[in-house]
Amino acid sequence: MRADNKKFIVAMIMLAIVELLRFFDRTLLFHSAPMGILQNYTFAKILLGIYMIVIMLLFAIMLTKTDMAYQKDMRYLIAFISVFALPMFANLNYFGTMDVVALIIGMIMIGIVCIEKYWIIMPVMSLAMGIICPMSLVTVAALIFALLFYEYIRTKKKQFIAYAIVNILLSLLGLAVSRKMGYFTTDSMYALSLKKFLFVCLLMIPYAIIAIKMMMAILNRAGKKSAYICLFTAGLPAILVYGLLADYSRVIFYGFIYYLFALAVLLIKQDQIVLVVYEEIRERIRARLPFMGLVIAYPFIVMCFWVSGPLELFAETFVGL
C-alpha cells in the first residue's frame, strides 16, 4: 500500500477512536437476537471492536484495488462513508443491534467483490446474516445482490447471477428461520423525531439532487441499463421500510451507506460510464463550493448532534424541533 494511503488509514483509525470515546454510552439496551450471548454487554463491545477492524480492513482493500488515478477520490469516498459508519453503532440506541453483525458480514462480502476471490463462501454468509439480522434482507443483502447482478452484466459470467439468486434466497431462508424461532422483529429505534427527520431531509436536498443527476446521467450513457437500474433501486427498500417504521436514523444511515459503497465498488471496477459521470459531477461541485470538505462536514454535523450524539440545542428549541 502507498505511504499516503497508509497515513490515511491511520487517520481513519484515530478518528474511529475519537468517535468511540465521544459517542460510546457504555449502556446496552435490549435488542432481539437469536442467541443470548449476542445480548451480553462484553460480547457487544467485542462485536463493535470487530466491526471497526473489519471496516478499516475493507477501506485498505478498497484503496489497494483502486486505480492510481482515482486514489484521491477513493479516500474522499471512504471519508464520506466514515461519517456514517464509524459513530452509528457506538451510541445508546444502536449499540448491540444485530445490524452490526450484518454489516460485519456484509463488509466482508463487499471485500470479496473487490478482490474477486472466495465467491463460494458468500451463500453461507448470506444465510448467517439472514438468521442473525433478518432486516438485513432490505439493507446489506440488497446491496450484495445488486453488486453480484452488476458483476454478471459486466463479465457475462453466469456464476454471478447464480450467486446473486442463491444469496438472496438464503437471506430469505434466514428471515424465515428467525420467524420460526420467534425472535424476528424490526428492532426499530425512535432516536430521531419526525420533525427533526423532515428538517434533515430539507438539509439533504442537495445530496438528493446530485444523486438523481448522477443516476440519470449514467442511465443516459448506458447501453445496457439493467445493472444500473438494479443498483439504483435496490437501495430504496431500506429507506422505505425504515421510513414506514419511523426509524429515521436508520433511513439516513442506510440511505447514504448503500449508495456510497455502491459508488466506491463501481470506481474500483473502473466502470467507464460511472468514471466519466463522477468526474463531471465532481467538477460541478468544485465550481460551486469553496472547499470540497463541506460536502462531508455537512452530514457529519447531523450525525454528531442528532443521530449518534443526540443533543438538545438552543437553536432547536427556538425553532420548535
State which H helix or E strand residue 299 sits in.
helix 294-302
Number of folded domains that form the chain: 1
A 10 A CB-CB count for 37 gives: 10
75-78, long-range: CB within 8 Å, 24+ apart, which pairs?
75/5, 75/8, 76/292, 76/296, 77/260, 77/263, 77/264, 77/267, 78/8, 78/12, 78/264
Q: State how far the Cα of 237 lies from the Cα of 138, in Å rounded to an integer.
A: 6
The predicted-structure confidence for 169-195, as pLDDT tens digits, reads as follows: 999 999 999 999 888 888 988 888 898
How is the chain split among helix, strand and coil, in percent rounded to 5?
Answer: 75, 0, 25
What does DSSP assign to residue 125? Answer: H
The predicted-structure confidence for 102-116, as pLDDT tens digits, reads as follows: 999 999 999 999 999
Q: pLDDT at position 321, please?
A: 60
SS3 95: coil
Q: State how far the Cα of 285 lies from the Cα of 46, in Å rounded to an integer.
A: 40
The one-letter amino acid at 103: L
Domain that holds residue 79: 3-320
The predicted-structure confidence for 205-214, as pLDDT tens digits, reads as follows: 999 999 999 9
Q: State how far the Cα of 19 lies from the Cα of 15, in Å rounded to an integer.
A: 6
321/244: higher pLDDT: 244
Range 228-242 average pLDDT: 96
Range 196-223 average pLDDT: 93
What pTM value is reported for the model?
A: 0.93
Whether residue 261 contacts residue 80, with contact meaning beta carbons closer than 8 Å, is answered with no
The predicted-structure confidence for 69-124, as pLDDT tens digits, reads as follows: 999 999 999 999 999 999 999 988 999 999 999 999 999 999 999 999 999 999 99
Q: State how far the Cα of 67 lies from the Cα of 227, in Å rounded to an integer.
A: 22
**32, 40, 79, 178 from 185: Cα distances, Å:** 7, 19, 32, 9
What does DSSP assign to residue 92? Answer: T
**pLDDT-derived band of residue 311, with 50, 70 and 90 as boundaries?**
low
Q: State how far the Cα of 12 lies from the Cα of 55, in Å rounded to an integer.
A: 10
A 10 A CB-CB count for 17 gives: 12
55/25: higher pLDDT: 55
Provide the grid cell at 275. Answer: 468514471
Range 218-235 average pLDDT: 94
| Residue for grid cell 429505534 | 189
| Residue for grid cell 433511513 | 251
